[in-house]
Structure 1
Amino acid sequence: MQPLVESVFYWSDLFGTAVFAFSGVLVAGRLRMDGFGVIVLAAVTAIGGGTIRDLIIGADNVFWTVDSLYLWVILVTALLGQYIAKLPRRLPWYILPLADAFGLAIFTIIGTDKALSYGTSGMVAVVMGVITGVAGGMIRDVLAREVPMVLQREIYATACIFGGVLYTGSLALGITPLLATLLGMSGTFILRVAAIRWHLSLPAFSLNR
C-alpha cells in the first residue's frame, strides 16, 4: 500500500480510537464514575478489541505498546470528553453515530488485514476484524454491568462481518488492496448507517410462547 494511503489509514485509525474512547466517556458519565473510571472505560473501548486480536494472532507486539500515540489520544479524549459532554450546546444527534460507524469500518478492515498478514485464513481474518471492531465495546458494557449492545438486536457485529467478507472476498478475486479496502469499509459503514437510519435490527431469540 502506498505511503500516502498508509498515512491516511493511520490517522483514520487514531480518529476511530478517539471516537470509541469518547463513547466510553459517555458511559462512565452516565454511571457517575470518577476520573480513573472514565479513563479505564475510554481505554478498553478504544483499544480492547485490537489488543485481543493481537494476542490471538500472535502479533510481535500489541499495537499500542509500540506506538504510545494511541494512549495519548485516549488520555486526551478522556480528559476533554468530560468537558465536552457537559456543554449546554450539543452536537447534532447524528454526528456521533456517523463517526462511530466510520471508526467501526476502519477498525474492522485494519483488524481483518492484520490477521491476513499473519497468515490466517479468510474466515479467521473476518472474525479478527469483528473482534477488533466490537470487543472493546463489549468489555465496556460488561464493566458497566450492562448486556453488551452487540449481543442484542443491533446490526453492529453484522456490519463488521459484511465488511470483512467484502474485503477478503475482493482480495481473493484479485481486486487491488486499495479497492478491496474501500469496498470493505463502505460495506461496513453503509450497513451500519442504514441500520441507524431505518431502525433495522436482527430478529430476537426468545423462549416465550
Structure 2
Amino acid sequence: MGLILNFWGTIKFVDIIEFLGTFAFAISGIRLASAKKLDWFGAFVVGFVTATGGGTLRDLLLNVTPFWMLNSVYAWCTILALGFVVIFRKALVKLNSTFFWFDSIGLGLFVVVGSEKALAFGYPVWVVAIMGTITGVVGGIIRDIMINEIPAIFKQEWYAVACMLGSLLYCSLYYLGVAESIVQIITAVFVFLLRLIATRYKLGLPFLKGEE
C-alpha cells in the first residue's frame, strides 16, 4: 500500500495531461488507420507515431532523451487506445466527428506539455511557442504522411495557429503567477475551443494563390 501511495505521489499533473494526450492522439491515429483498413500492428504503429512524433522532435531539439524512451507507459497507452478502438469500433464509425474530437483534445493537451517543458529549460517565449506547436502538430503530420493523406496542418482551420496562440497564452498566465495546474487547464481548453470555433465558422488563413 505504501509503495502505491509513493508511486502516485511522484506523478505530476502535467504527467496526467501527457498520458491523456497520448491516449487521445493515439485514438485519432488508430481511427484513421482503421479507415485505411490497416491490420492491428499497422494501426498500433500509426497510433504510436501520432502520439509521440511531436514530443520526440521537441525533445531532440531540446537535446534530451525522447520522453517515450524513459517510460513504457506511452506504449501501453497506445495499446489501450488500440483496444478501445477495436472494442468500440462500431460506435466510433457512427460518430463521424470522432477523429476531430480526439485530435482536438490531444492537440490542446500536448500544447500544454510542450510549452511546460520548454519553459522548464528556461527558453524564451518565442521558443516555447514553437515547441508547443511542434509537440501538437508533428505527430499528426507524420501520421497523415504514413497513411497517404494531406497533413491536416495544411488544410484544416487554425490548426498550428491554435497551438501557437495556446503556447503564448500559457506563457502569459505563467508569468502572471497563475497556479500551474490552472494554467495547464486553461491552455488546453483554450486550444480545444479555438479549434472548435475555427472549424464551426470556417476560420482560416488566406490561401496562397498560384499563377492565374
TM-score category of the 2 structures, normalised to the smaller one? 0.7 to 0.9
Work out the CA distance in 2 between the residues paired with 1:75 and 1:19.
12
Residue aligning to 1:78 = 82
Residue in 1 that maps onto 2:4:
none
Give the drift of 1:50.
0.7
* Mean CA deviation greater in 159-168 or 174-183: 174-183
1:6-85 alignment, distance < 5 Å: 7-59=12-64, 61-85=65-89
1:37-186 aligned within 5 A:
37-59=42-64, 61-85=65-89, 87=90, 90=93, 92-94=95-97, 96-186=99-189
Aligned residues: 204
**Residue 31 (structure 1) shift:** 1.9
Distance in 1 (CA, whole Å) between partners of 2:45 and 2:208 is 32
Letter in 1 for 2:67: F
Moved more, 188-197 or 10-19: 10-19
Q: CA deviation at 1:201?
A: 2.4
Distance 1:88 1:57, change over 3 A: closer
Structure 2 residue identity aligned to 1:17: T
Aligned-residue offset at 1:10: 2.5
* Divergent runs of 4+, >6 A: none
1:93 and 1:11 mapped to 2: Cα distance?
27
The answer for unaligned runs of 5 or more in structure 2 is 1-7
| Distance 1:103-1:89 versus aligned 2 partners, 3 A rule | closer
Query: In terms of mean alpha carbon deviation, does 89-98 or 152-161 score higher?
Result: 89-98
Greater Cα offset, 39-48 or 25-34: 25-34
CA-CA distance at 1:8 after TM superposition: 4.1
Query: What is the deviation of 1:174?
Result: 4.0
1:105-137 CA-to-partner distances (Å, cap 9, x unmatched) read 110011011011112211111111111111000
Deviates more, 1:30-39 or 1:104-113: 30-39
CA 1:13–1:88: 2 relative to 1, 3 Å: closer
> What amino acid maps onto 2:171 in structure 1?
T
1:7 positional shift: 4.2
Aligned to 2:5: none
TM-score (norm 1): 0.85
Look up the equivalent residue of 1:203 and give its one-letter code: P
Separation (CA, whole Å) in 2 of partners of 1:182 and 1:44: 25
Identity %: 33
Q: Where do 5+ consecutive residues of structure 1 fail to align?
A: none
The 8 Å contact of residues 104 and 192 in structure 2, kept in 1 or not, is answered as yes
Structure 2 residue 201 is the aligned partner of structure 1 residue 198: yes
